[in-house]
Amino acid sequence: MGRVVILLFYLFTFSPLANAQELPVYLDESKPMEQRINDALGRMTLDEKIAVIHAQSKFSSAGIKRLGFPDLWTDDGPHGVRPDVLWDEWVQAGQTNDSCVAFPALTCLAATWNPDMARLYGESLGEEALYRHKDVILGPGVNIYRTPLAGRNFEYMGEDPWLASRMVVPYVQGLQSKGVAACVKHYALNNDEEYRHQVNVVVSDRALREIYLPAFEAAVREGEAWAVMGAYNLYQNQHNCHNATLLNKILKQEWRFDGVVISDWGGCHHTEEAIANGLDMEFGSWTNGLTEGLSNAYDNYYLAQPYKRLIQEGKYSTRELDEKVRRVLRLMFRTNMNRQRPYGAMCSEAHYAAARKIAQEGIVLLKNATPHSDRGSENSGRLLPLPSAQRLLVVGENAVKMMTVGGGSSSLKVQREVSPLQGLRERFPQVDYARGYVGDVGGNFDGVSTGQDLKDNRTAGELIAEAVEKARQADCVIFIGGLNKADYQDSEGHDRKDYALPYGQDAVIEALLKANKRLVVVNISGNAVQMPWADRVPAIVQGWFLGSETGRALADVLSGDVNPSGHLPYTWYRRLEDTGAHALGTYPGTWRPEHDIIDEEYKEDIFVGYRWADRQGIRPLFPFGHGLSYTTFGTGKAKVSAPEMTRGGTLTFTIPVTNSGQRAGSTTLQLYITDRKSSVERPVKELKAFRKVFLNPGEQQLVQLTIDERALSFFDSDRQQWVAESGDFVASIGFSAGDIVARVPFKLR
Ligand code: BGC
Span 207-232, pLDDT tens digits: 999 999 999 999 999 999 999 999 99
Report pLDDT digits (tens) over 433-468.
Answer: 999 999 999 999 999 999 999 999 999 999 999 999
pLDDT band of residue 360 (cuts 50, 70, 90) is very high
Weakest-pLDDT range from 182-191, 204-213, 287-296: 287-296
Give the pLDDT mean for 127-134. Answer: 98
Q: Which amino acid residue places its CA nearest to atom 8 of ligand 1?
A: 264
Element (H, E) at 221: helix 214-221
Ligand 1, pocket-test mutation among 58, 446, 492, most atoms within 8 A of CB: 492
Residue 373 pLDDT class (50, 70, 90 cuts): confident
Q: Where does residue 585 rank: exposed (0-12), middle (13-18), buried (19+ CB within 10 A)?
A: exposed
Assess contact for 314 and 320: CB atoms under 8 A.
no
Active site residues: 264
Cα-to-centroid distance, 232 and ligand 1 (Å): 10
Q: How confident is the model at residue 88 (pLDDT cuts 50, 70, 90)?
A: confident
Q: Which residue has its alpha carbon closest to ligand 1 atom 9?
A: 409
DSSP classification of residue 298:
G
Which pTM value belongs to this model? 0.96
Distance of alpha carbon 728 from the chain centroid: 35
Contact (Cβ atoms closer than 8 angstroms) between residue 111 and residue 544: yes
Query: Helices in 59-105 by DSSP H: which ranges?
Result: none
- At 12 the pLDDT is 43
Nearest atom of ligand 1 to the alpha carbon of 82: 12
- CA 410 to ligand 1 centroid distance, Å: 8
pLDDT of residue 716 exceeding 50, the answer is yes
Categorize the per-residue pLDDT at 372 as very low, low, confident or very high, splitting at 50, 70 and 90. confident
Taking the CA of residue 139 as reference, the ligand 1 atom at the shortest distance is: 10
Atom of ligand 1 nearest to the CA of 185: 9
The pLDDT score that the predictor gives to residue 292 is 47
Question: Which secondary structure element, helix H or strand E, spans residue 172, and what is its range?
Answer: helix 161-176
Query: How crowded is the C-beta side of 477, counted as CA atoms within 13 Å?
Result: 31
What are the phi and psi torsion angles at 360 (to 5°)?
-60, -45
User: Average pLDDT of 726-734?
Assistant: 98
Please tell me the distance from the alpha carbon of residue 528 to that of residue 465, in angstroms, as a whole number.
28
Stretch among 367-381, 483-497, 554-568 having the lowest mean pLDDT: 367-381
Is 76 near ligand 1, meaning CB less than 6 Å away?
A: yes
C-beta of residue 627 within 8 angstroms of C-beta of residue 633: no
pLDDT the model gives residue 381: 85
- Distance of alpha carbon 440 from alpha carbon 316, whole angstroms: 52
pLDDT at 376: 64
CA nearest ligand 1 atom 6, residue: 265
Per residue in 320-355, pLDDT tens?
999 999 999 999 999 999 999 989 999 999 999 999
46-86 pLDDT, tens digit per residue, is: 999 999 999 999 999 999 999 999 999 999 999 999 999 99
Cα distance between residue 60 and residue 272, in whole Å: 23
Please tell me the predicted confidence (pLDDT) of residue 55. Answer: 96
How high is the mean pLDDT of the chain? 95
| Helix 420-427 / helix 550-559 crossing angle, nearest 10 deg | 50
pLDDT digits (tens, 9 = 90+) for 608-648: 999 999 999 999 999 999 999 999 999 999 999 999 999 99
Cβ–ligand 1 distance for 542 under 6 Å, the answer no
Q: Is it the case that residue 294 has pLDDT exceeding 80?
A: no
Backbone angles phi, psi at 424, to 5 degrees: -70, -35
The residue-averaged pLDDT of 568-584 equals 98
- Ligand 1 center–CA 598 separation, angstroms: 21
DSSP string, 324-376: HHHHHHHHHHHTTT-TT-----SS-HHHHHHHHHHHHHH-EEEEE---GGGTT
Atom of ligand 1 nearest to the CA of 186: 9
**Residue 577: which region, alpha, beta or left (left: phi > 0; alpha: psi -120 to 50)?**
alpha
Cα–Cα nearest to 688, from 657, 729, 728? 729
When mean pLDDT is compared across 40-44, 286-290, 525-529, the lowest value belongs to 286-290
- Our answer on whether the CB atom of 265 is closer than 6 Å to any ligand 1 atom is yes
Q: Confidence band (pLDDT; 50, 70, 90) for 380? A: low
Asked whether 139 lines ligand 1 (CB < 6 A), one says no
Residue 651: what residue type? L
Ligand 1 near 58 CB (within 6 A):
no
Please choose from 58, 76, 90 the residue to mutate so as to test ligand 1's pocket, defined by most ligand atoms within 8 A of CB.
Answer: 76
Q: Is the CB of 75 under 6 A from ligand 1?
A: no
pLDDT above 80: residue 379: no
Q: Which helix (H) or strand (E) holds 739?
A: strand 739-748
Provide the pLDDT for residue 399: 99
Distance (Å, whole) CA 359 – CA 314: 56
Does residue 283 line the site of ligand 1, with CB under 6 A? no
Strand partners, 521: 479, 540
Burial tier of 132 (Cβ tally within 10 Å: 0-12, 13-18, 19+) = buried
What is the Å distance from ligand 1's center to 89 Cα?
Answer: 13
| 138 pocket-lining for ligand 1 (C-beta < 6 Å) | yes
Long-range contacts of 238-241 (CB under 8 A, 24+ apart): 238/273, 238/277, 239/267, 239/268, 239/269, 239/270, 239/273, 240/186, 240/187, 240/188, 240/189, 240/190, 240/267, 241/267, 241/268, 241/269, 241/274, 241/279
Confidence of residue 9 (pLDDT cuts 50, 70, 90): very low
Q: Is the Cβ atom of 308 under 6 angstroms away from ligand 1?
A: no
Q: How far is the CA of 75 from the centre of ligand 1 (A)?
A: 9
pLDDT band at 374 (very low <50, low <70, confident <90, very high): confident
Atom 3 of ligand 1, nearest CA residue:
409
| CB of residue 185 inside a 6 A radius of ligand 1 | yes
Ranges of beta strands (E only) in 483-555 are: 519-524, 539-542
Residue 642 Cα distances to 676, 702, 712, 733, angstroms: 18, 17, 16, 17
Torsion, CA 537, CA 541, CA 547, CA 550, rounded to 10? -80
Answer whether 304 contacts ligand 1 (Cβ < 6 A): no
Predicted pLDDT of residue 6? 45
